[in-house]
Each structure stands twice: as C-alpha cells, then as structure tokens.
Structure 1
Amino acid sequence: MYKLLFVLMCSLFFYYITKDLRVFAGVFIFLTALMFWGAQIETVNRRLAISQARDDIEGALRKRRTLLEKAYESIKDSAAFGESELSLIDRLLSGENNSEGEDTVFKEYYLLQKMVKDILAEKMEGSAEDRAETALQPEWFDMALKDVENELSTACIFYNDSAKEYNSAISTFPTSVMAKINGFGLINYFDADNGSC
C-alpha cells in the first residue's frame, strides 16, 4: 500500500510542477507499471529461493537414503527383522516413494525414511555384539547420520525462512496482485517432526 501511495505522491508532485493532467497520468501509469513489474520479479525470485531450498532438502534425503541402505546391507544377515519392518525397508529400497513430485509423496518419503532410520538404529545397537567388525559400526552410523540430519535440518530451516518471506510478500500489495495473476498461493512450512511440507 505504501508503494501505491509513493506512486501517487510522485505523480501529484509532477502535476504540481507542470499543472498538466497528461503529465500526471503519464507519470502515474509509468510508476504503477514499474511497481507491478518489480512485484513480479520479487515474486518469481522468492519462488526460486523456495525451489532451491526444496532441492537442498531432497539432496539431504538422498544422502540419508544412501546411508540407510548401507546400514541395512551391513546388518541384514545378523539382525532379525519383523515382517512390518522389512516391508518398510523394502518400500524405501524399491523406490516406491521418492522425494520428487507432489508434496504428499515428499511427505510420505520423509516419514518413511524416518521410520526406517529408527528401525535400523535400534537393530544396529542390538546386533553390534553379535557380528564381526564391519565398516559400518553403530558409532560410525550415528556420526554419519548426525551429519546428514544436521544438513537436513539446515535445509528445512532455509526452506521455512524462504516460505515465510514469500508468504509475507504475497500478502501485501502489489505483490498479492501479481501472485493472483500468476496463480501463486501460500506455501506450507516444513515440519521436521512429522514430515509435513
């Protein structure tokens, strides 16, 4: 709203100097067009930032999946898995869910990884004494997992910050008008506790 007021004040200033209504109209139209053009650029740039943040989350999820695959391969012969646990692990390894596409798929994939991570962490602790030394000991797994989780957490924070800035921007004039014209709506935040995005 302040931008529109600024445009009006500038136009009135030029009208006051020239006393010509055509100058007022020309300046008003030019500055209004400039204001909307700037709002369009701002909207697109903020959406690009959200897209980059989402890519960062997906990259961290890919790293976590690789780590979970290694953990499973390391203990599958020495640890006893229940049928439901094997079903979840099989879904993860088969790629039935992936991190790309619809938000619902993204959420399901995040939660699936979280469940498999909890299962494998428990099994690695339980099978540490029963198996010979391997490259993937529980301590190594915990450290590697902590690094990936930190990266994922950082990516989620960046995503939420970008989403917050974007949601604030498209709630104000003139960006709200450009968002409606382009069909852009509010972006949901990423909740690391339940994988909602």
Structure 2
Amino acid sequence: MNLDTADDIRAFLRLCLDPGHGIKRTPAKLAGIMPGPLEEALMRFAPHLAELRDDADQQEDKARKAREAHAAALAAWITAEPDAETGGPELCPQNRRGDQRVPQPHFYKPGDDGVLRCLFCSAPAHWGGEPPRAWRTPDGRVWTLASEANEHGVAQYEDPYIPKRYTALALETMYADQGDIEPVDDAGAPPYVLNARSVNRAPAPL
C-alpha cells in the first residue's frame, strides 16, 4: 500500500469505499474504522480533516455529558419527595422566575465531585434523609438550613449573625450543657440571593 502522495491516499480510500463483492461503505463508516497509519497519512495532506475530527470528538463528549446530566436530573425528579404544602417537588429558594420571583424546582446537575447538586443553590439531590429546615437552640436562636452541605455531604445550618456554618451534630455538641436543640419546620426558606446564574429580572429585594 503506497501512501506517499495525496493521489495515492485518495485512490486507496476510494477502494475502501467500494471494494467490490457487493460491499459499499459510507464516508462516515470509513471514518469510524480507518486504521491509524492510514489516518496519519491522510492528515499530512488534509490537516483540515484533523481539525474537523477533533471538533466532532469534542461535540460528542459534550453531548454525552449533556445526556448524562439529563438522565441524572430525570432520576432526581422522579425520586424527589413531594413537598408537604404543594404536593409537588420541593422548590429551590434560589431558582426564581420573573418579576415576582416565583420559586421553581431545583435544577440538578452533576458537579466535578460527581455529586448531583442544584445549579442554583448547590443543595445535593439526595441528603440521605430530608434534614429539618432549621434547628432552634436553647438560647432561642434559629439556625436555618444552608444551601451547601459540608465536604461529607452532611447538611449545615447557619445564623445570619454568625459567620460560620454547623451541622446538627455540631450544634447539639455546642449546646449540650444548656439543653436540647429542637427541629423547626416552619422557619422558611434560606434568604434569596440574586446572582448571575439565576433567571430573575427584578433587582429589588423581596
């Protein structure tokens, strides 16, 4: 097989497309089965084909990741627990739409760590048991559920006047000598934050 010139390569590729004996190949089929040495020889004379191939590989990779994200989001939606008040999936405190900032469902997408998290509030799709929306400590302070869990995926709670988040176990340990902490279900959603990734248009605070 002589692959020294462009004409030689073109002639051989024509033969590959129509080798006879009733065999016919499409260019797409040929591109998928082309052996390495033949492809390397081809790229020497047609470098634009290498660029197109690389672009096609990148697009296929993006499409694969998009399909995986879609499948993961579908699984999260199917397995989501209904909200007690609305009967539908729990609404995201950050994903709000329109001038009235109507809360929308969480939009889950796999992160770099492989954990499925909401694109807007970073809440994981599966907590391993829904955590309380807040805890009331013996001093009367109400710690609301934060938008991000810790590095182990455990829910964290925050107070607007304390620049640190704590898990329920940490709060229980902190107040062990003062009394028990109590779950609070009606504390409301975490405060809304307007950000560039949201779909909101109204700049005024709620």
TM superposition score normalised by structure 2: 0.28
Q: Higher relative contact order at CA 8 Å, sep ≥6: structure 1 or structure 2?
A: 1
Q: Which has the higher Rg, Structure 1 or Structure 2?
A: 2
- TM-score of the pair, normalised by structure 1: 0.29
Relative to total residues, which structure has the larger helix share, 1 or 2? Answer: 1
